[in-house]
A = this chain, B = another copy of it.
Amino acid sequence: MASQQNSKLPKNAALVHTFLAKHGSPASAYEILDGLRGKGISAPPTIYRALDQLLARGLAHRVESLNAFVACDHPAHDDANGFAICQDCGSVREFTDPEVVSAVNALAKAQDFDVRHVTIELAGQCAACRDSGSEVSHG
């Protein structure tokens, strides 16, 4: 259902993917750009094009509520994944949950809606921040 493209990853897409994978947490296009200025990349369109290629292959996701991008943990499910975003520490955890997916699919069917992509983003507090009494600063 995803990752249909088996052709070789273009150079810039590979650079961006590597950057995101190392980064670990979501990065904005401009953070990626800043991180790759030494590698011949100098302008936003280059980043956005590379991101488009990664998104098409399921190798990265856009986190809508952060206007940011992450390398993908499980490319096989890129059309129905989700993110849990801690508002205290900024950590983002990707998940794929069959219960949520089936509930969403049932809903879409009931509404006679042909789903192509599902965005699920949970904003809240992660366990680590709750356990430390919420005094963790954002970053």
Contacts and interface: CB of A to CB of B under 8 A. Distances in A.
Interface in A94-128: 95, 97, 99-100, 102-104, 106-108, 111-127
A112 B125 CA distance: 9
A48 to B, nearest CB: 15
A84 interface: yes
A10 B118 CA distance: 35
A interface, size bucket: 35 or more
A31 interface: no
A21 to B, nearest CB: 22
Nearest to A127: B112
Nearest to A119: B121
Given A118-B122, A119-B123, A121-B119, A104 B100 contact: yes
A95 B116 contact: no
Interface in A77-91: 82, 84, 86-87
A121 B87 contact: no
Nearest to A120: B120
A74 interface: no
